[in-house]
Amino acid sequence: MSNATRTEPFRSSSILGDPYSVFVLKEGYAYYDQDGNMKADGTITLIKGKEIILVDTGSPWDREVLLQALSLHNVVPKDVTYVVCTHGHTDHVGNLNLFPDATILVSYDICRKDTYLSHDFRAGQPFRIDDSVEIFPTPGHTGCDTSVLVKGTAAGTVVVAGDLFECEEDYTTWQELSENLDVQQRNRDRVLEIADVVIPGHGSPFRVHKQEKLCQN
């Protein structure tokens, strides 16, 4: 983590807010098994408010887990208006076919059925759903990752960051999986500056404390 911040576990899968609340439907994980193979699955997050937004859809074997988790929030697939896959790896895009009526964002592509919308993420331009939610480019893990920013929750600004952060204490492990270390480090630092809570791709949500705030206490 940046020297200008410290972090601590958030210790809740629910972050209430107005106009949007954020719920971690499934917490991701990543570890090496005894044979040295990576065992991993991605975090699935629901943003519920004026729009119903799903961030990452898990792996193909998460289908029933995802459907059941949505039902606990009184959501069925046809209610979901936006699906954001932070990047194109299998453990983040495995259930896109459940949401044919949603606007789909996968990495830097935005489509409504077979119509691809023009938007320049590569120029750093965020895609705003409304005044409270936007998708912005955070490449590094891959060449075209995105993250989702949610304003106005009870915990402050939440960033659903995909694999920009593997988990709170990823230290150097994120570097092993990065396509561009320098770019990813810059985007990690940027998110730590703007977020009060980060939801990483393979671990629990964590709170971010800025150094400036610590000095005032």
User: What is 3-28 written as a DSSP string?
Assistant: TTEEEEE---SEE-BSS-EEEEEE--
72-104 confidence digits (pLDDT tens): 999 999 999 999 999 999 999 999 999 999 999
Which CATH number describes the domain made up of 5-118+126-216? Answer: 3.60.15.10
Domain residue extents for the chain: 5-118+126-216
State the average pLDDT for the chain: 95
Output the pTM of the full model.
0.94
pLDDT of residue 107: 98
How much of the chain, in percent, has pLDDT values that exceed 70? 95
* Rounded distance between C-alpha atoms, residue 110 and residue 93, angstroms: 14
Q: By CB neighbour count within 10 A (0-12 exposed, 13-18 middle, 19+ buried), where does 2 fall?
A: middle
